[in-house]
Amino acid sequence: MWDYFQAPPGMVWRLTSVVGLLCLVIAYLTNQRGRCRADSTAYLGANALGAGILAGYSAVIDEWVFFGLEMFWCAASLWAWSRRGPAKAVGGESP
């Protein structure tokens, strides 16, 4: 019988990790194209969610350096979200 932590990740974890990756990539691309501010709830939420998912996946596959990196980015996004001011439009004006 395989030990839980030694077994390869199942299909659910693999698909979930792709969702985490897509959260990060889509947030980055929308920010780079000027469609989403880096301090917006959507951007910070997508970063926190994606990094959190990838942190979980990296723990499952025993990649502890990657786990630390993703936990850092998840925490940084949550910290930034908790400290952000009133929502602003893409151009910098208040709605």
DSSP string spanning 17-79?
HHHHHHHHHHHHHHHHTTSS-TTSHHHHHHHHHHHHHHHHHHHHTT-HHHHHHHHHHHHHHHH
pLDDT band at 86 (very low <50, low <70, confident <90, very high): low
> Tell me, what's the pLDDT at 2?
45
Please answer whether residues 58 and 67 qualify as being in contact, where contact means their C-beta atoms are separated by less than 8 angstroms.
yes
Angle between helices 41-60 and 64-83 (to 10 degrees): 160
Sequence ranges of the domains in the chain = 41-83
What is the per-residue pLDDT across 1-54, written as a single tens digit (0 to 9) for each? Answer: 345 555 567 888 889 999 999 999 999 999 999 999 999 999 999 999 999 999
What is the per-residue pLDDT across 51-68, written as a single tens digit (0 to 9) for each? Answer: 999 999 999 999 999 999
> Tell me, what's the pLDDT at 1?
39
Residue 90, CB-side half-sphere exposure with 13 Å CA sphere: 9
> Tell me, what's the pLDDT at 69?
96
